[in-house]
Amino acid sequence: GPGFFGPLHHPLPMTLRAHSRWGSFYADERLLPMLEPAADRLGPDGWAVLERVADRCRDGHFDDDDVPARLHGDLWSGNVMWTPAGAVLIDPAAHGGHRETDLAMLALFGFPFLDAVREGYGDVHPLRAGWPDRVALHQLYPLLAHVVLFGAGYARQTIAAARAALAS
């Protein structure tokens, strides 16, 4: 069935169809469904840049041999609650995806202990070489969601992230 992303008063559908490759999943289930509702705010140039990213994803440019990871799906500092017993994650948009995605989402709006989280993650399952170059790629879906939900103020950042993804 469908998943959802975003606030309860305006949830965005989030399809959960399985794909054999991450790139086709990301293009067809995350990026392209957001282009239509974001079109007026992105403009034709922004649309074109994001379509090129989706094409490169679909062509396998960003694929690797990592198995899909269970993702929180909306992991930003507001969805991490600190308790005396440790961190608690709330409000998930859980799905299987690329393991760099949640880390990129944490970096998108700032996270107070991001370096420690990355270090701990790397101790358990080291990130692949070049992962910093792919952060912008993994931030595109939440950025597009912010364009749709909150307006054109996120369009410039989204287009810049798409250009950075194309450069990687």
* Residues with catalytic roles: 74
What's the rounded Cα separation, in Å, for the pair 102 and 44? Answer: 29
What's the rounded Cα separation, in Å, for the pair 31 and 155? Answer: 14
Tell which phi-psi region holds residue 90, choosing left (phi > 0), alpha (psi between -120 and 50) or beta.
beta
Residues with Cβ < 8 Å from 135, sequence gap 6 or more? 100, 103, 104, 107
